[in-house]
Chains A and B, each alone.
Chain A
């Protein structure tokens, strides 16, 4: 448990976009994919995924279609729209800048201040 981290607010959307960018997924699939690509380090409240998915669909970043899952269950599959792809790129760059800035701030030593 101790190596699981709470999600920062606003990062769930980014993670979903990233997960879906690797190929169409249903909701549960998105959850598994995030766990997998984050090395099971991030704790996501499963139900919270869905409001986020609906919000992204409404914003036109994702599109959804009903289909069959691997084990033949009916499920709704999400994939990126071109607008979503663009947004993912922008947000990734933004995130990297933020992380770099915070990392360098946190790495500062007393004499440099």
Chain B
């Protein structure tokens, strides 16, 4: 049916030239027959023919009416219009190219950003029925602690509550994979056996865990990723049931996940998991009898029962939480609140606002592009006034002309859209490389159907936006007036010029909004780049290694600080002897300033719940702080100065009393009006020793560039052993070879330890700014494009005004006007527009900048410096754009201008 319709459509389209000749032939036959008759009645042949033509009437008009009668329906007229439009556009190639390029730029950029938004924010997570997936987050309202993790008994409460189909923690960690030539660090996630059933994920090879399994300790089975299978096992088809050794324990490989499978993590480290291990989260190496208030499990993920919604589940959960708190009141001194969030929210929540900002910015660029094209079309409409009038006089209907013009602009915008998408397709690979690694993208960013449909709709919408004004203007032609004005093509232009002025003001205002947004982002970025770090990243490198964590604590060579200390001392001694190394120190990953890659790991290991000795001056301050473990040399190496007391020294050992160094923010928050030195606190974990503060160091922005006063607690690694280690080196280091040199030293001491993650501290700091830099650069590029387009817009309008007034200027000059007066008149016209645009733009920018307040740092949304300097730059560019045509006006030769008319 549909096929037949299209076939007839195609046939009609192809037949058109034949129909056209037949029509012409039929009308001519009529005239010939009439001529024959008239000739027979006694006229001469030429007279007869002339008479016949006159009697017939408007040849072209009737032809047009016949075409309409033949075509009859919308599609046919459309085809006609398109054919005519193509002819028109081909006649003015330059114009077409400019418009198509402008629109291609706008549509291409908008679609590119949309494809990221689509994959990240719009598409569901790539797991079946993913709307049923939630994350479970716990808060301790009394101390204002958010997302504090769960304890194993709490996990069991949820698993047995009947609210969820499955519940699983996802504990991101690293492990040492040994057995091949080089020990390797693998990214592992410890999950409940129900994890894969929860995600409804199938392996490409073998099987996944039995979701019913519930024995203590770790399952001796692992599932590995496709990447690890290919890299470490050469894609061995008989991989199943083979053993691998991780952290000295043996595991059997039971399955391989397909290549596209990613875990729902917040950053690339958490998503690119290589090994999945299952545990019930009690029994070795974890405690046999886990306690309720020891929340060592990270956020849980869960699948709601079919038919259940987040709201209904939250209701049931609130009941459960209340009864648990009643039953174990002693374990919840700070209250307990449990929230369900869509899993997607926890994965992409952080990037929503920056992404929407980008989409808005690029949409503004597209809009400015449309306004520019509308301006061009209006200018061209002036040149085509006569053509339109003649076509009207020959019988083209008013609606027909409007429709024709709209078809032309739609054709232009679609061509632009196609060019934009085409470029996007070709540049896809290199553009994807620009997207920062930190962006959570479980879905491949690609030009999918939804993206294509978006591009198509955007193209059509822009075509209508920029085509509407010119089309409406053309339909309101005063025929007689235009045709009487012989030779002069530009009348009725008063109204059109008014429209163009409005368009230019719009364009200027939009571009100013974008420039101010970019200016604010640039200003905050600049401030962040220039903050006093409080530490010195110059010529410092960090290299990571990791001690094994065997499930059987008895075979752990590094179980206690006393066992680990000799290794650390010897390693540091050897590192100091490497060429170029001036200082060496060691810490846990949390001590790497501004390191984002181990967020989850640090969040879990670095969280430290405190109780204080005696009455605390500030009982409402959170009793959870960030903690790092370091060797004594650390502070000098990273350049954080001591303010009071002492740093760690060689007498602080496993057997001596535990000591701590805190920063000034910590001292001020917990002991506001007292000396922190000598104060004691301890971990809330059972059997924890008292820790005495021995030193206070200066505040440094090691947690966040934006905040200088995050309370920081440092423990001595010789008293508190760490499994994840970072070796810090300062000196004239050979970045290329230093990782290998450190590896050699580490593996001389213990050949099973992997060495990885070598990075300069400078690189770590700039990675911290990666996402901000990306947003800023993109918005900046859009703003520049917008400024350029707006400048072209105002230039076009002023040029047009000048050419309109050439005659008038000629008269003025002839009558003795000064050339500087002419310049002033023209500039005045341009600057009126610019000031109007600036005024509207500033008001809009004030609104927009408040919406993006959370993306700013150190800059108020109304920052007068940014507003003023951007506005000045803007006016300068506008002035320049007006000056060029104004200069031309000034140089008008009155003789030529007057003779020309």
Contacts and interface: CB of A to CB of B under 8 A. Distances in A.
A58 B72 contact: yes
Interface in B30-87: 30, 32-34, 36, 55-59, 61-62, 65-66, 68-70, 72
B69 A51 contact: yes
Interface in A19-71: 26-28, 31, 45-48, 50-52, 54-55, 58, 69, 71
B33 A75 contact: yes
A109 interface: no
A97 B182 CA distance: 105
A76 B24 CA distance: 12
A50 B62 contact: yes
B70 A58 contact: yes
B159 to A, nearest CB: 73
Given A46-B57, A47-B61, A71 B66 contact: no
Contacts of B69: 51-52, 54-55, 58
A83 interface: no
Contacts of B29: 26-28, 69, 73-76
A27 B56 CA distance: 12
Interface in A68-104: 69, 71, 73-76
B777 interface: no
Task: Name the residue among A46, A71, A75 with the largest chain B CB count within 10 angstroms.
Answer: A46
A47 B57 contact: yes
A45 B32 contact: no
Nearest to A64: B26
A22 to B, nearest CB: 18
Contact of B26 (A31, A52, A76): A76
Interface in B499-528: none
Contacts of B25: 74
A48 B30 CA distance: 12
> What interface size band does chain A fall in?
20 to 34
B58 A71 contact: no
A28 B33 contact: yes
Contacts, number: 62
Contacts of A27: 26, 29-30
Contacts of B61: 47
Contacts of B36: 71, 73
A45 B57 contact: yes
A45 B62 CA distance: 10
A58 B33 CA distance: 25
B34 A51 contact: no
Among B29, B36, B57, max chain A CB count under 10 A is at: B29
Nearest to A27: B30
A76 B310 CA distance: 74
A46 B68 contact: no
A75 B26 contact: yes
Nearest to A74: B29
B70 to A, nearest CB: 5
Contact of A48 (B26, B62, B70): B62
Interface of A: 26-28, 31, 45-48, 50-52, 54-55, 58, 69, 71, 73-76
Closest 10 CB pairs of A and B: A47-B62, A54-B69, A51-B65, A47-B57, A28-B33, A55-B69, A51-B69, A46-B56, A28-B30, A75-B29
24 contacts: A26-B30, A27-B26, A28-B30, A28-B33, A45-B57, A46-B30, A46-B34, A46-B55, A46-B57, A47-B57, A47-B58, A47-B61, A48-B57, A50-B26, A50-B66, A51-B65, A51-B68, A51-B69, A52-B69, A58-B72, A69-B33, A73-B36, A74-B25, A76-B29
Given A47-B58, A48-B65, A58-B69, 12 more contacts: A26-B29, A28-B30, A47-B27, A47-B57, A47-B59, A48-B62, A50-B65, A51-B62, A51-B65, A54-B66, A54-B70, A76-B29
